[in-house]
A and B are shown apart, each in its own frame.
Chain A
Amino acid sequence: MELNINGSRHEIDVEPDTPLLWVLRDTLGMTGTKYGCGLAQCGACTVLVDGYATRTCVTPVESVVGSEITTIEAIEEDPVGKKVVEAWVDNQVPQCGYCQSGQVMAATSLLKENASPSEEDIAAAMINLCRCGTYNAISKAVRQAAEA
């Protein structure tokens, strides 16, 4: 199988139903994308597939052949992603930081689709779990990124 990740092509040889998460982390060594639950409950594993936030722990790798995959490793190369990262730093969002790759990807996906999201839009898109409870800082950072 050939995957297009962050603009580069990667030839991989795994079972076709292997979740994309484990191909990224263990086959390709791109560990910025995190494993939290394996059930699409928490969102720590979120990447962009053709621009949309996708939970990779339940995404069979064969289903994304031919798609453009963007991971946290390349997020600053995306102009929207760069704005989101800067807003995350400005607002000092992360605590333990473990969920934040997924949060940044979810925010980037939202702002790519909707440059001026309402509070409701933000609430509807930013649904990843954070055990440190950084939710208020996250929504503030998303608002700031939208205005940047």
Chain B
Amino acid sequence: MKVLDHIGAPHSNNSAGRPLNVSRRGFLAGSMSALVLTVALPVGSGQAIAQAAQGTPGSRIDAYLEILSDSTVKFRSAFVEGGQGIYTAMAQIVGEELDVDPVNFQVETAPPGPDYLLIGGQMRFTGGSMSVRTSYDAMRKLGATARQMLLQAASVRLGVPVEELSTEPGQVIHTVTGQSIPYGDLAEAAADLPVPETVELRSNDSFRWIGKPQDRLDVRDKSTGRAQYAIDLTLEDMLFGAVQHAPRLGQEPGDVANEADVAAMPGVHSIHKLPGAMAVLADSWWRARMAVEKLEVSWNEAPAGTLHAMPADFSSEGRKEMLKATPGEGIAFETEGDAAAALASSARVIEAAYDAPYLAHGQLEPPSALVRFNDDGSLEMWVPNQAPEMFQGDAAKVAGISTDKVIIHSPMLGGFFGRHFLYQTANPYPQAIMLSRASGRPVKLLWSREEEFLRDPVRPIGTVRFRAGIGEDGLPVAFDAVAVGEGPTGRWYGRQPGKVDSSSVEGIAGKPYAIANRRVGQIHVDDPAIIGFWRSVGHSMNDFFYETFFDEMADAGEQDPYELRLKLLEKSPRHKTLLEAVGDLSGGWKRGPFEAEDGTRRARGVAMASPFGSEVATIAEVSLKDGEVVVHDIWVAIDPGSIVNPAIIEAQVNSAVALGLSSALLEEVVYTDGMPEARNYDMYPILPPERMPRVHVRIAESGAPMGGIGEPGLPGVPPAVVNALAVLTGERIRSLPLSKYDFSGANG
């Protein structure tokens, strides 16, 4: 038993207790155990080397797929599965061209490597609703190329021209003679053939799986407890780790009053001081947690100037007021015409200030890290992550080894919503690496829900000031917005001085409405909190700000908000069509208030958003009950250009509606004295089942370039709800969440 000083400097002595196999359900579990045939480039051939050197990500077949002897496919997805259905989408896209039924795919997330950098050919992450749209063409070509090689192999085998051959799912067919050969029998021969330089893709009208509501590959395992997440994995001889984080970020552990008592608790292996935390390793997680929470730790304040140290007097309320009071027009991000001049000459000018709070991710699987140092000096990690290469690089730095010595496994995520990017102070694996090094044992570190709430990288707080000029005809002629705060993209991927981080203004800028004079500016103010990406990022609040202010403009000009949108979209047919579609889906636009069949007084609100390459129009129907907002129905028309799986799109829209509504109704991370107040769902309520509205989805395929799906359904929900609420109450809500207000006085 020992208490270690701050572990941070890696050392090389880790020879004790070498673990053996991971007791993880492997890729091949339940399938062919013997022969794994790979459609591979011939190793060592000049061609293979040339191909690898050219290295177009997404082109090397054996990096992605193996055809097993039973003609099923083992596929490595560049993207992590976390509920968005990407494994199924990959199987549909590749299976369509390869001619293998998607149900015969087994999919797992690919390890780090240049082959998988499909985003712009340079990056890989699972986020930004990017996965399908950035990989669609490459994955189709990959499947078609593999199919062509199987056809060539069959041509040699049967001694017939390749032109006489065709495929049916999982086999090559020679129609003339009625012969067929399963893919599994051809894979080895195909692997020795040259890779064709060009291949023909299927015509869209002959798709069997793309564009169809294919069942998800993981649903049965997820309905029977068999799906495994990082939290479920174990290693032989591992220790369980639990932490007690410093209550305020930046504090460091000092004296421990009861170290000996805790060390004597059952199952405790060792007690460790880590940067910003205390940890206990034990023979079960519950024992580790009981022990670490019993530690009486003196937390020392961070020395002045410590990066990311949270000020002791920080509060979210103070931050909000400070942002609202920050003067100026900011750096211009989007300008059209002359907003200042148009405002000065407008018949009527309206102003409003909006704000939205910090938000927690609240994904139900708490973060964990399972790590082990192998005998060969490599570090192996099983960690929830949205970016394997980034985690690999950072883990190498923490461990003090080269990047190629870090093996990353990316299990299914128990929800992510932006939680599992690389965030300083918010990922458990640096702690796990230090603990494994110190103990010489594999370590499974799990953050309790309370420790997670303490270190979750929050959706930033945001504020915006609007001004609009309304013309004599009631139409807006000038629009001016100044957003004040910080966006997460600039925080984590580098903010260029003098330039606006688009994640701080997306959803205020980039709107399609024809307003002749516009300016969107931004004032950057560093956020003391660790901020992160949260489903739909800047759009999660900015479309709320814009689209509710839009209704204020409509009211000021005595226009119906739906009709005004239509009018301002006259020259934007894609948007206008979509707005009409959601109107139609909802049975025809009616703002209300009106009396529903059950006698309640209801109203509807509308909002539009252009997030992540897709277009969305949303209508919400709302009433009031006992001073609380009740949302009955949400109608969403979404145009992602073109689609892969309509069933998954409908599920994702349902999910985005739930999260968007949760944020509008309930969610707010409150900081006082530099610490988040809520440490669990009791103090940070998330949408419960009884507040889930009916969700109606219409998918429109305009044929525009493919957009995203995971996030776009979210941003329209808060403004549609709040716009409906304003009809019921006659008052504008400009600050979320709605649970801050009691609407008992309203005529609901």
Does A8 sit within 8 A of B, measured CB to CB? Answer: no
For B85, what are the chain A residues with a Cβ–Cβ distance below 8 Å?
95
Does A5 sit within 8 A of B, measured CB to CB? Answer: no
Q: How far is the CA of A31 from the CA of B234 in the complex (A)?
A: 10
Most buried by B among A35, A72, A127, A139: A35
Q: CB distance B417 to A129 under 8 Å?
A: no
Does B365 sit within 8 A of A, measured CB to CB? Answer: yes
User: Per-position contact with A for B646-660: 1 when CB-CB < 8 Å, else 0?
Assistant: 010001101111110
User: Per-position contact with B for A69-81: 1 when CB-CB < 8 Å, else 0?
Assistant: 0011101100000
From the candidates B223, B364, B682, B692, name the one contacting A36 in the complex (CB within 8 A): B364
User: Per-position contact with B for A83-113: 1 when CB-CB < 8 Å, else 0?
Assistant: 0010011001111111111001000000000
Query: Looking across the interface, which residue of chain B has its beta carbon closest to that of A94?
Result: B222
User: Per-position contact with B for A14-46: 1 when CB-CB < 8 Å, else 0?
Assistant: 110011001001110101111111110110100
Does A115 sit within 8 A of B, measured CB to CB? Answer: no
Q: How far is the CB of A64 from chain B (nearest CB, A)?
A: 16
Query: Looking across the interface, which residue of chain A has its beta carbon closest to that of B231?
Result: A35
Query: Looking across the interface, which residue of chain B has its beta carbon closest to that of A72?
Result: B225
Q: CB distance B364 to A93 under 8 Å?
A: no
Q: CB distance B449 to A39 under 8 Å?
A: yes
For B416, what are the chain A residues with a Cβ–Cβ distance below 8 Å?
96
Q: CB distance B412 to A36 under 8 Å?
A: no
Q: How far is the CB of B449 from chain A (nearest CB, A)?
A: 5
Q: CB distance B219 to A93 under 8 Å?
A: yes
Does A137 sit within 8 A of B, measured CB to CB? Answer: yes
How many residues of chain B have a CB within 8 Å of chain A? 64
Q: CB distance A94 to B218 under 8 Å?
A: yes
Does B284 sit within 8 A of A, measured CB to CB? Answer: yes
Does A123 sit within 8 A of B, measured CB to CB? Answer: yes
Does B363 sit within 8 A of A, measured CB to CB? Answer: yes
For A34, what are the chain B residues with a Cβ–Cβ distance below 8 Å?
231, 364-365, 414
For A128, what are the chain B residues with a Cβ–Cβ distance below 8 Å?
689
Q: CB distance B225 to A71 under 8 Å?
A: yes
Q: How far is the CA of A105 from the CA of B689 in the complex (A)?
A: 16
Does B127 sit within 8 A of A, measured CB to CB? Answer: no
For A98, what are the chain B residues with a Cβ–Cβ distance below 8 Å?
229, 363-365, 414-415
For A65, what are the chain B residues with a Cβ–Cβ distance below 8 Å?
none
Q: CB distance A36 to B449 under 8 Å?
A: yes
Q: How far is the CA of A1 from the CA of B416 in the complex (A)?
A: 38
Q: CB distance A85 to B266 under 8 Å?
A: no
Does A52 sit within 8 A of B, measured CB to CB? Answer: no
Does B228 sit within 8 A of A, measured CB to CB? Answer: yes
Does A133 sit within 8 A of B, measured CB to CB? Answer: yes
From the candidates A29, A89, A126, A131, name the one contacting B364 in the complex (CB within 8 A): A131
For B220, what are the chain A residues with a Cβ–Cβ distance below 8 Å?
85, 89
Q: CB distance B682 to A39 under 8 Å?
A: yes
Query: Looking across the interface, which residue of chain A has its beta carbon closest to that of B218?
Result: A97
Q: Which of B400-429 contact A (CB under 8 A)?
A: 412-417
Q: CB distance B219 to A94 under 8 Å?
A: yes
Query: Looking across the interface, which residue of chain B has its beta carbon closest to that of A33?
Result: B225
Query: Looking across the interface, which residue of chain B has its beta carbon closest to that of A91?
Result: B219
Q: Which of B261-293 contact A (CB under 8 A)?
A: 266, 284-287
Q: CB distance B225 to A136 under 8 Å?
A: no
Q: A31-B232, A75-B224 are in contact. Are A136 and B654 (CB under 8 A)?
A: yes
Q: A37-B680, A89-B223 are in contact. Are A133 and B266 (CB under 8 A)?
A: no
Q: A26-B286, A31-B232 are in contact. Are A38 and B449 (CB under 8 A)?
A: yes
From the candidates B225, B448, B659, B687, name the one contacting A32 in the complex (CB within 8 A): B225
User: Per-position contact with B for A114-133: 1 when CB-CB < 8 Å, else 0?
Assistant: 00000000010011111111
Q: CB distance A26 to B224 under 8 Å?
A: no
Query: Looking across the interface, which residue of chain B has its beta carbon closest to that of A44?
Result: B364
Q: How far is the CB of B282 from chain A (nearest CB, A)?
A: 10
Q: CB distance A15 to B225 under 8 Å?
A: no
Q: How far is the CA of A137 from the CA of B658 in the complex (A)?
A: 12
Does B82 sit within 8 A of A, measured CB to CB? Answer: yes
Does B215 sit within 8 A of A, measured CB to CB? Answer: yes
Q: CB distance B286 to A104 under 8 Å?
A: no
Q: CB distance B83 to A97 under 8 Å?
A: yes
User: Per-position contact with A for B191-225: 1 when CB-CB < 8 Å, else 0?
Assistant: 00000000000000000000000011011111111
For A123, what are the chain B residues with a Cβ–Cβ distance below 8 Å?
689-690
For A139, what are the chain B residues with a Cβ–Cβ distance below 8 Å?
689
Q: How far is the CA of A111 from the CA of B695 in the complex (A)?
A: 25
Does B610 sit within 8 A of A, measured CB to CB? Answer: no
Q: How far is the CB of A144 from chain B (nearest CB, A)?
A: 13
Query: Looking across the interface, which residue of chain B has its beta carbon closest to that of A99?
Result: B364
Does B594 sit within 8 A of A, measured CB to CB? Answer: no
For A129, what are the chain B residues with a Cβ–Cβ distance below 8 Å?
364, 681, 686, 688-689
Q: CB distance B689 to A132 under 8 Å?
A: no
Query: Looking across the interface, which residue of chain A has its beta carbon closest to that of B414?
Result: A98
Does A48 sit within 8 A of B, measured CB to CB? Answer: no
Does B366 sit within 8 A of A, measured CB to CB? Answer: yes
Q: CB distance B225 to A135 under 8 Å?
A: no
Q: CB distance B286 to A18 under 8 Å?
A: yes
Q: CB distance B232 to A132 under 8 Å?
A: no
From the candidates B218, B284, B413, B414, name the one contacting A14 in the complex (CB within 8 A): B284
Does B162 sit within 8 A of A, measured CB to CB? Answer: no
Query: Looking across the interface, which residue of chain B has its beta carbon closest to that of A124?
Result: B690
Q: How far is the CB of B352 from chain A (nearest CB, A)?
A: 30
Does A134 sit within 8 A of B, measured CB to CB? Answer: yes
Q: CB distance A39 to B681 under 8 Å?
A: yes
Q: How far is the CA of A44 from the CA of B215 in the complex (A)?
A: 24
Q: CB distance A96 to B680 under 8 Å?
A: no
For A101, what are the chain B residues with a Cβ–Cβ distance below 8 Å?
224-225
Q: How far is the CA of A22 from the CA of B288 in the complex (A)?
A: 12
Does A138 sit within 8 A of B, measured CB to CB? Answer: yes
Query: Looking across the interface, which residue of chain A has its beta carbon closest to that of B647?
Result: A92
Q: How far is the CA of A47 from the CA of B733 in the complex (A)?
A: 42
Q: CB distance B364 to A38 under 8 Å?
A: no
In order of increasing CB-CB distance, the 5 nearest A-B pairs are A133-B658, A32-B225, A97-B222, A96-B83, A98-B414
29 A-B pairs whose Cβ atoms sit less than 8 Å apart in the complex = A22-B284, A26-B285, A26-B286, A31-B232, A32-B225, A35-B366, A36-B365, A36-B449, A37-B449, A38-B680, A85-B223, A92-B215, A92-B651, A95-B85, A95-B652, A96-B83, A97-B221, A97-B414, A98-B229, A98-B363, A98-B414, A101-B224, A131-B362, A131-B415, A133-B655, A133-B656, A133-B658, A133-B659, A136-B694
Residues of B that sit less than 8 Å from A by CB: 23, 82-85, 215-216, 218-229, 231-232, 234, 240, 266, 284-287, 362-366, 412-417, 446, 448-450, 647, 651-652, 654-659, 662, 680-682, 686-690, 692, 694-695
> Given contacts A75-B225, A139-B689, could you give 10 more A-B pairs where the C-beta distance is less than 8 Å?
A22-B286, A26-B240, A27-B284, A31-B231, A34-B365, A35-B231, A42-B364, A95-B652, A97-B221, A98-B229
